[in-house]
Structure 1
Amino acid sequence: MPKYQSREEMTGNNGEKDGQITFHYSMLSRNNYAAWAIKMRVFMQAQEVWDAVEPRTSNTVVEARKDKMALAAIYQGIPEDLLLSIAEKKIAKEAWEALKTMFMGADRVRTARIQTLKAEFESLNMKESEGVDEFAVKVSNIVSTMRTLGVTVEESYVVKNLLRAVPSKFLQIASTPEQFGDLDTMTVEEVIGRLKAHEERMKGHGDSDDRKLLLTHQEWS
């Protein structure tokens, strides 16, 4: 796996080096662009060079050194057969946009892709035989792809669709937060955790023992 190394030197009273951070960049493939782009963004933010790819404002001036570091990071994460495709791009933003267009399509294709993903997400249903972790991965993949395409996906939107999509065995869980009126403040991770806890209860007590599976307000809190 390609490696891009950054040394963060923190100087104390004794002036000695205190730590070193090494980033291992994922390699871009034909099937992992969404996850790759998320990781690359976080790595470059940690390197404080993300502004070269996505300036904070239209007037943001990018230092030449930061731009070269961002471009180098992008090169670290792509295979050799893609190098020629972006070799003529002189700045990190151009290289990034070229890869995005290549893998996500032009604006018209991107818009169609977003609509398809939204429809897929809103019609998604968890199967009776499906585990919470397995279903959570499906949800996460769709949401991550939409966000990579530039869509603002609110946490409450994901939570509501997640609870709508669960089968009848999770009905008590799905209806409980609605009774407490906290859907707009809950996180996806929180809901997944509670669904998993309920799943474990069902394994321990049996699906037919509904009385033991009822969650009280105190348990949710």
Structure 2
Amino acid sequence: MTDPADGGPDPVRILVCDDHVVVRAGLLALLDSAPGIEVVGEAGTGEEALALAARLAPDVVLMDLQLGAGIDGVETTRRLTTGTGTTGTGRAPHVLVLTTYDTDADITRAIEAGATGYLLKAERPEELFAAIHAAARGRTALSGPVAGRVMANLRRPRPALTDRERDILAQLATGLGNREIARALFISEATVKTHLRRIYDKLGVDTRAGAVAVAKEQRLLP
């Protein structure tokens, strides 16, 4: 699109969503100096971001992951990119995550929710500006450390779990104890313990919580 007044490209319209007022103020001041970028609104919660996106029709939503009370950044991203938060223009905005969290689980959840890019708040301003313009065109933008994690996960072979081990892992993720898992799967408690030891070995963990966390990161659960 071009600006009919001067024939130049329209600025990228940005909605900033972060629950910290000071952070939002800093971002607004920073983006105000960026060429080709126009901040059209700011939100402190996911619900507010959805309402503003529907009204303001931003090209890109700059999204934090942790938003305090209410829905988090991942769920807000999902709603924006799947139509629940579609703007009045009939198109969904692109979502560029800007956060301090760089765990495999956070990155995976955000990308699966539809985020176009994932940046860390430690990025230099020019990297942020470039990522915003890339996101506006639908291009993936990842911080260097994030890109490294994504590639490492893609190269990492998934643990070869048996069907029974997957069944037990799924029950484990619901919070059931060994006795309840045994009853649910019609096997003995001793058999459950044997399978759990094998699951722990394959996932490289030694606790139930660790097994569930790794299973979620590597998408081993249904």
Of Structure 1 and Structure 2, the greater strand share is in 2
TM over 0.5, yes or no?
A: no
| TM-score under structure 2 length normalisation | 0.31
TM-score of the superposed pair, with normalisation by structure 1? 0.31
Q: Which has the higher helix share?
A: 1
Larger Rg: 1
